[in-house]
Amino acid sequence: MVNLSILISSSEISGPGGLFDIDATLPLVAIQFILLMIILNIILYNPLLTIIEERKEYILNNLAKASKILSQANELTAQYEQELNSVRKEAQLEITNSQKIHKEILEIELNISQKYIDNLLDNITKDLLDKKNTALNSLDAIVQSLCIEIETRLSI
């Protein structure tokens, strides 16, 4: 407790000034503050601000370049999509045309094959009819000769 009372008694202000004592130290502190502000401005803040401005310009330039490149890419994309659509339409037309041509060729080949088969069948039927007729004629001759032979044997 004794220490506390000594501390309180020694902290008492004796004389003028009190809480705000304006003497030669205040202008000195103000001058020091202003000098430190100027020195910090010159040494620290100005270089930092220039670097920040350079980075800002660099970023803005890169953003501008990127937006130009993006717009060019969008234009190229639109152009290529349009070309792709036209090529797809042309390919579809070529496919349908080739399908028509192949269908016509197939029909022609089928007609030729059908005619060939019809001719072959006609030839085969004619040949079979000729063979049938020759077989019947030869059979008729054989039957006639057998009849004559039977008659001759019977008449004996």
Confidence band of 4 (pLDDT split at 50, 70, 90): low
**Cα 129 to Cα 99, 121, 122, 141, distances in angstroms:** 44, 12, 10, 18
Average pLDDT over residues 29-35: 92
H or E segment at 111? helix 46-155
pLDDT digits (tens, 9 = 90+) for 71-130: 999 999 999 999 999 999 999 999 999 999 999 999 999 999 999 999 999 999 999 999
Q: What is the pLDDT of residue 24?
A: 72
* Cut 0.85: pTM above it: no
- Cα–Cα dist 137/131, whole Å: 10
Closest among 48, 147, 74 to 155, alpha carbons compared: 147
Count of beta carbons in the 10 Å neighbourhood of residue 101 = 10
Eight-class DSSP state of 13: -
Distance CA 93, CA 106 (A): 20
Domain locations along the chain: 31-155
